[in-house]
Chain A
């Protein structure tokens, strides 16, 4: 019987099978940020176990509130910084070099097909775009991952998500994943891994695939995985070229992780993406999704472009293409946060930052800040935001605020119009 991607990865990483369907797997990567890691660090210190299993496998970044906004966030940064230093964690990204975790770690080539990855952050599923098993966990799982290099999971069941058809202009990966979540529901994939497949995924860049995988958790999924192909190899090539004689050889090595043709899936859905139109969420759940053409005069106060979902260079290009030569509506504030310094730098070179600034946007440093209402663009009660982020929960971007999730192009168009609008 054939295997899914997640099954192959689990079978290659099994350390223990303590009972039933629970498997303890070895970890190739433990990613850390300054919000969920400090309590794990303090606990390890208090237990007299201030050590790490393998400093090479641990990567850390200060990204949620950066630069620090107050004494508490400064302390969180300090705990992470000091810990990284004393435990020889060389890949630690601090101010000037830091970016949103799920954008900067892939950019640095830290994730490879077949890897197992955990982080104390639910959007860790993003890294599944590289044909990896990547899952968000809590601080205790993170702590054990740091100390022992292992984590326990249910042996994965997989939902196959077939994405067929050609996307029409104005429809982006964000529209696709919001439609998937609408179709599956916010807990439709709970305790399952989503495997995204089909011509729509085949035609997507790694940036687009990361947007898909990023929001798998909004349907409850443990991870969102895409197969390894030449697009994966091309993206990783600068980091792997000394490991393989050619890209073809790299692909042959990575393709071993791809699902077998006779793999058995727990569930299978197919979405004809040719019929999709630009969408946005309404309400407070990410499965409350409808076509933007069905919104009637929904005024916005802020547009936010950034985050681990849509803060990458392609996202900025798509938004800038809509904004070029235009201005934000006078009643709308615009904030754009390139997700990493490299993306920021590239956007500067391409003239995208100028387009944003000419349109009236505030350009901020890379940070998660506004997406979860921690800093850098928090909403006041009653305010409405057209946002490229991933959660529209009550209070998510600020108590009493309303968040509408959409693609960067739609967010830009809404910023110009002052009401929720799709790009023309």
Chain B
């Protein structure tokens, strides 16, 4: 199972699309590793600098409809090769979400008021997320401040995470 713990980056915008996550001009690469320098290069978000803000990040927390647009799995891959295996949002575009679980990564939805609380309490603080996959909880911490929130992943997606992805899962079963 992949690592779902570490420093969190808060991206305070909805509808971040896969062209912003990894622009099409880099889709000519045929290895995942080659995508690493270009993650979120075209993100339109005031104050965001991909060359600085992604350093040491393992988890992204954002708003609605993350990963909309192109079906490119290069978006999860660009996250993965940067050590980011977990994105938490109010909701996701269907293809992006399935691509994440198909890679054994996680795209987890939390209610909007929970996301609001997390932004209010932890955005910009250098907060750390620790994931208890068995219990289904994320714990956000910064100094003395701690907040634990429950999450739900469907049984199927949970099995994909445990299997390491859809190829591994499907190969055993079909």
Contact = CB atoms under 8 A, between A and B. Distances in A.
Contacts, number: 147
Nearest to B104: A140
Contacts of A49: 171
A43 B73 contact: no
Given A141-B102, A372-B19, A187 B28 contact: no
Contact of B155 (A19, A136, A396): A19
Contacts of A264: none
Interface string B81-92: 000000000011
B116 interface: no
B15 A186 contact: yes
Interface residues of B, number: 44
B93 A20 contact: no
Interface stretch (B4-12, B46-54, B117-125, B159-167): B159-167
B142 interface: no
Given A76-B30, A395-B20, A121 B99 contact: no
Contacts of A140: 73, 99, 102-103, 165-167
Interface stretch (A32-40, A225-233, A348-356, A412-420): A32-40
Given A65-B28, A140-B167, A187-B93, A19 B72 contact: no
Contacts of A122: 69-71, 95
Given A19-B154, A140-B103, A187-B15, A373 B24 contact: yes
Nearest to A148: B174
Interface in A54-86: 64-65, 70, 72-73, 75-76, 79
Range class of the A interface residue count: 35 or more
A407 interface: no
Given A144-B170, A150-B174, A18 B70 contact: no
A399 B102 CA distance: 30
Contacts of B159: 18-19
Given A187-B64, A190-B94, A36 B19 contact: no
Contact of B156 (A22, A284, A373): A22
A120 interface: yes
Nearest to B100: A138
B30 A75 contact: yes
Interface of B: 15, 17, 19-20, 23-25, 27-32, 42, 44, 64-65, 68-73, 76, 91-95, 98-99, 102-103, 154-156, 159, 165-167, 170-171, 173-174
Interface of A: 15-16, 18-20, 22, 24, 35-36, 38-39, 42-43, 47, 49, 64-65, 70, 72-73, 75-76, 79, 120-122, 124, 136-141, 143-144, 147-148, 150, 152, 186-187, 190-191, 220, 222, 284-285, 372-374, 391, 393-396, 399
